[in-house]
Amino acid sequence: MKTADEHQLVECKLNPQEQLSHFLRWFSVDEACRFDIHLRCPDNSARKNAYWITCHEAVSANRIQELWPWLRYKNANGCDVYFRPHRHDNHKFLFLDDLSCYTAQLVARKYACAVVETSPNNTQVWMKTTRSISLTERKEQQRYLSQLGYNDPGSISGDHLGRLCGLVSHKRNCWVNVKSFSTPTNYEPASISSSTHRWPGGGRVLKNSKKKHSCSEREFGWVIAILNAGVSIKDAQQRLQRAAENRKRSDPERYAVLTVQNAIRTIGIDEV
């Protein structure tokens, strides 16, 4: 593992079991003591009929390492393995889903993060916060950051599961690896009532309104935010389509194309 100063990324090039060890230690340094492990297993090899198993909750980092041979076996037999700090604990970690490598690097150069590459040019990011926050607060912060384009609007839950590194993603048929760790300042959870908040790469959010917006309106604002932050048009369409599929919207591909086209016209950028 390369050495880096306080504000550099530390590139991770380790074998699977070493990755797991460093990954768990990164959490444990900030007093995360209990973790959850869930499996998503195929039903007769049909991935669309996969079912979830809550197999280990509130277990220690040492226990996860003891389970490693079993997790590798289940993964080799078609199960996807997911992980999170224990959902009912207050802890210092925020989960950001479905970030491009470029966007994840922007975040990691400003805040302490573990970046997990789940497929080519797609990542999940665990970001350290300055204080322990509850499940409800984590959900509020995820929603807040999604308005800036730095979290998938379909992944706002406060107790979201991320993929465990060193294993295969059967959904994408590729390895899941820790791409980097970073050690700058921890993220200060934003005051939701604050008037504005800026993020690396541009973009801001105005003071929250009491008006309730539809899913389509929120996603339209999210698309504008990620385009302004430098996400490509193709990437924006793919991310919106996945979000629409997650909430079971009809004809998600057409919806994504039309919404991105409207966003392009709104902000006045050239479509290529």
Confidence of residue 270 (pLDDT cuts 50, 70, 90): low
Indicate yes or no: pTM above 0.85: no
Q: Return the pLDDT at 205.
A: 41
Structural domains for the chain: 9-182 (3.30.70.1790), 215-266 (no CATH)
Non-local (6+) Cβ contacts of 160 within 8 A are 84, 95, 97, 142
Please state, in angstroms and rounded to a whole number, the distance separating the CA atoms of residues 82 and 64.
12
Helix H or strand E encompassing 84:
strand 80-85
CA within 13 Å, CB half, 250? 0
Which of these ranges, 18-32, 55-69, 82-96, 150-164, has the smallest mean pLDDT?
Answer: 150-164
Residue 219 or 254, more confident = 254
Mean pLDDT of the 173-200 span: 76
Mean pLDDT of the 223-251 span: 83
Q: Which residues make beta-bridge pairs with 117?
A: 123, 177
Please state, in angstroms and rounded to a whole number, the distance separating the CA atoms of residues 89 and 248.
30
**Cβ-contact 40, 80 below 8 angstroms:** yes
Q: What is the maximum span of the chain, computed from C-alpha positions, in angstroms?
A: 54
Given a cut of 70, is residue 202 above it in pLDDT? no
